[in-house]
Structure 1
Amino acid sequence: MHTILVSTQFVEDYEPTKADSYRKKVILDAEEVQIDILDTAGQEDYAAIRDNYFRSGEGFLCVYSITEHESFTAVTEFREQILRVKGSDENIPFVLVGNKADLNERRRVSLEEAHRMADLWRVPYIETSAKTRLNVDQVFFDLMREIRKRKLTDAETSNGPKKAGRKKKRCIIL
């Protein structure tokens, strides 16, 4: 069983006031992987810090609330900033994530609109619920697999086939 759970408590009226970072070791497909997660909480006060993390980030979850169209628009701005910092590499592992799936009756971003954006970006789209934990772990594991696939492709392109042997991996997710 895969577990990424960073916190065991769901806070109903969470108002992020600062960026948070987490480090966790998980087992991904029988390999130990250390993940570093930066939750920027969309705070503009942390733009300089965010750019540094974007430079070192290997994969990105662009998360918005399905109940707030403004947050959906904001993920486009974040992705553009990430591409600018990373040098416009369109193959950076991304997953577009619509959160608050448990509040479908308050939906302001349609599934069609979300899928159109994911198709335009050529990235996977998943809906989650932090409250019910629906697909929360799955988005992290999907992103880690995309990062691993990218690393293997890059290694084969630059050095030929990658040699086995190293068991511990490191993965940075923003």
Structure 2
Amino acid sequence: MHPIQLVVFGSGGVGKSALTIQFVQGLFIEFYDPTIEDCFRRALQVDGQPCLLEIIDTAGTEQFTALYDMYMKRGEGFLLVYSVTSKGSLEDLEERREQILHIKGSTDPAATVPIVLIGNKTDIIHEREVSTDEGRRLAAEWRCPFLETSAKTAENVDEAFFSLVREVRLASGMHGSGTSSRAHGRGRRRKCVIL
């Protein structure tokens, strides 16, 4: 089975690693240990269809941004994570999204690049700086799914990744049966390789 490459982006300290580890291992990591790059794999079923996910947890600090182009080229879907306790972390995602669209060569960002916007750390209620409505408005502008999560309580963590898998499948024309919509009927095309 071909792994689906998912990339998790966001500023330092927003909980990218905590979300990923909660999803893959079912654990919450309390302490903050800045990541350079971690890669996780998980086999599971989404909507009754088996899939193998390869999740790249990226660095959120400026010194490692040179690696971002490589992640963006390899990635099939992108989880853009901000902390609801930091308005700046939400604002940082605009540049990251633009960079993804540029690298992917997207002229119509709405339908071609699978992105899910995630507001993390909803368990820290007293420090909230970004309202749910602000996240929803940005997701509506970007025309992508939006979820609020808590890596600590595991709220919506699975659904965040499942939603991204659905977006990847939608963008690649995959249906519930695991076959491409082009494989049936008039939309079928053949490729010619000249050596």
* Equivalent position SS for 1:39: strand
Q: How many aligned residue pairs are there? A: 157
Q: Deviations over 1:3-56 (max 9, x none)?
A: x83234322231324221112211122222011111113233332322112112
Query: Where does structure 2 lack aligned partners over 5 or more consecutive residues?
Result: 1-21, 175-179, 186-195
Instruction: Map residues 112-151 of structure 1 onto 2, 5 A cutoff.
Output: 112-151=133-172
Displacement of 1:108 in angstroms is: 0.4
TM-score normalised per structure 1:
0.81
Letter in 2 for 1:26: L
Equivalents in 2 of 1:17, 1:84: separation in Å?
A: 25
Q: Which amino acid aligns with 2:74?
A: S
Shift of 1:134: 0.1
Query: Which residue among 32, 36, 39 is the counterpart of 1:21?
Result: 39
Q: Distance in 2 between matches of 1:59 and 1:131?
A: 24
For the pair 1:7 / 2:30, whether they are aligned, the reply is no
How many Å separate the matches in 2 of 1:139 and 1:5? Answer: 9
Mapped to 1, the partners of 2:151 and 2:35 lie a distance apart of 18
Percentage of matched positions with identical amino acids: 44
Matched AA of 1:141: F
Moved more, 7-16 or 68-77: 7-16
Poorly superposed stretches of 4+, deviation over 6 Å: none
What is the CA distance between 1:160 and its match in structure 2? 4.8
Q: Indicate the RMSD between aligned Cα atoms, in angstroms.
A: 2.1
Give unpaired runs (5+ residues) of structure 1: 163-174
Larger mean Cα displacement after TM superposition, 125-134 or 13-22:
13-22
Bigger mean CA offset, 45-54 vs 110-119: 45-54
